[in-house]
Chain A
Amino acid sequence: GENVEQHPSTLSVQEGDSAVIKCTYSDSASNYFPWYKQELGKGPQLIIDIRSNVGEKKDQRIAVTLNKTAKHFSLHITETQPEDSAVYFCAASNDYKLSFGAGTTVTVRA
């Protein structure tokens, strides 16, 4: 089955700086790569996703890149703000299920 590894497990950044989270996946058939943000006591919320026919996607301060050859994808958050503090999960899928990484706890210091 699919195995998704996510790094780092924790990330502390100064407000206004950038944050980068990296994930690798094992199944070359995976073709859908979403990123979720989970705040304390809430369910995961989709923040951006990318499909395998696209190398990069951007939505305001958030961008995702995908390298199919190396089987890794990354989340980039620019100009971080205190409300960006949360746990972020990457995931990969080629069918009906998502395989999630273990999560990255992002703390934005004011």
Chain B
Amino acid sequence: ETGVTQSPTHLIKTRGQQVTLRCSSQSGHNTVSWYQQALGQGPQFIFQYYREEENGRGNFPPRFSGLQFPNYSSELNVNALELDDSALYLCASSGLAGAGELFFGEGSRLTVL
């Protein structure tokens, strides 16, 4: 158990809809990163939030957006869902903004039909 919790664990959406995924970071951690893991692949970096500000972004379109709240929990929002957005979305927290140990949650499995 890493102390990182994500919700929901599974959800099904249809193409064009919008989705919000939530993450509670481990106690004491002020940095949250989001990753997308397609089936059979390694996780791909979406973005990182540090003290409520976006600290870096991977190669994902603007329809992927996020928020971090004062308690360091975070949301990932995806608009205009596409079939290729079907994946496991992983949240990871850490105690520093740079390269260091990430504690991953169990993920939210999104299926887009």
Contact = CB atoms under 8 A, between A and B. Distances in A.
Contacts of B90: 43-44
Contacts of B101: 34, 46, 49
A100 B106 contact: no
A96 B97 CA distance: 6
Interface string A90-110: 010111111111110000000
Given A43-B90, A45-B2, A96 B98 contact: yes
A93 B42 contact: no
- B contact patch SS: loop
B42 A101 contact: yes
A27 to B, nearest CB: 12
Contact of A96 (B42, B56, B59, B107): B56
Most B C-beta atoms less than 10 A away, residue of A31, A94, A98: A98
10 contacts: A1-B59, A34-B102, A36-B104, A41-B106, A43-B104, A44-B43, A95-B56, A96-B56, A96-B97, A98-B45
Given A31-B99, A89-B42, 14 more contacts: A34-B102, A42-B107, A43-B106, A43-B107, A49-B101, A94-B99, A96-B33, A96-B97, A97-B56, A98-B45, A98-B99, A102-B40, A102-B42, A103-B40
